Amino acid sequence: MVGFLKSAALATLTSVLMATAAHADVTVYTAGPKGLIDKLSAGFTEKTGVKVNVFQATTGKVMARIEAEAANPSVDVVISASWDTAQDFAERDWLLSYTSPNAENVPAMLKTDMAVAQGVSALGIVWNTKSGTPKPNDWADLAKPEFKGLVNIPDPAQSGSSFELSAALGEKDDFALFTQLQQNGAIIAGANAEALNPVLQGAKAAVFGAVDYIALGNKAKGESIEVIFPASGTVVAPRPAMIMNWSKNQEEAKQFIDYMLSDEGQKMVAATYLMPARSDIAAERPLMSDLKLLDYNSAEVYGKRKEILSQVGSIFGTN
C-alpha cells in the first residue's frame, strides 16, 4: 500500500511538472500595432497551448522598460520598430542565436543570426486631401509657406522608424531641412499616432515621416488622406524580432518566432498594411522594390543615435 501511494504521488508530481512545462508562458515586448500582436498571440496560443504575455508600447517605452528591468529581466522576445535595436542588443551580447526554418524566404537584408524582421514599414508624407494645401511630392515641400504651422513630425526619440528617417535625411544635408521645417512652424508631436491624429481630424495638413502602415490602414477605413513616398527617396524600417539570451523559455520563444514567420503569421502582418518579411507572401501595398530608397550609412548613423536625437531636439526645442 505504501509503495502504491508513493507511485501515485510520483505520477501526480510528474503530471504536474509536465503540465507546467507544456503551458510555460512566453513574454513579448513589442512596438507597433496592438491588433497585430493580439492576433499573433491568439493564433500562437491556439496552435501551441503556450500563453503569450504582451507589453505593447512605442519603441522608446519598450527600450526604457527593458533597461529598467535589467537586474531582473522577464522578457523573452522583443519586437522593435527599428533595426538599430537589434544591432545595439547584439553589441551588448543580449541576444540568442536562432534561425527559424520559416525564414528561408526572408531576404538576407532582413535577417541575421540573431534577429529577423517581423515585417517592414516605410516612411512617407501623409497628406489630408481636404486641407486646402497643394499636394506635396517631396520632403522639402512641407517647409514651404503653404504648410506654415500645418506639419507634424513623429518624435524620433519615441518612434524607431522616425529615427531612421531623421538619421538618413540629417546625414544628407546636416539637418538643414529640419531647421527649415522648424522655422516654418512644424512641430515634434509625440509618437506616430499622436502625430497623425490631428491630420486625420483636419487640424493639421500633413505628417512629415509618417509610418506608412498606420496611415494606409486609416485610408482603407475611408479617411481623406493620401500616403506619398517622396520623389527624392525614403527609408524603410525593418521590425526586428529577437530572442533574449536570458530567456527562461527559449523553446517557446523559438516557437513564437516560427509562428510569426509562418504563412499564417505573415498573412496577419500583411493584413496590417506592413510589408511581410517573407518575399513569397502577397501584400496590398507598395513593397521595397516599388520605392526609391535614400542612400545612407545605416551602421554609422545607428552609432550616433544620441548625437542625432540631440541635434533634432535642439532644433525643435524638445531636449
Binding-site residue set for Fe cation = 213
Q: Mark the binding-site residues, compressed into ranges.
A: 213
Q: At what angle do helices 84-91 and 160-173 cross, to 10 degrees?
A: 100
Cell numbers describing residue 268: 496577419
CA distances from 8 to 15, 119, 157 (A): 11, 50, 58
Could you give the maximum distance between any two Cα atoms of the chain, in Å? 92
CA distances from 288 to 123, 131, 207, 272, 285 (A): 11, 29, 21, 16, 10
Could you give the CA distance from residue 251 to residue 158 in angstroms, rounded to a whole number?
31
CB atoms within 10 A of CB 204: 24
Cell numbers describing residue 22: 507544456
Could you give the CA distance from residue 78 to residue 75 in angstroms, rounded to a whole number?
7
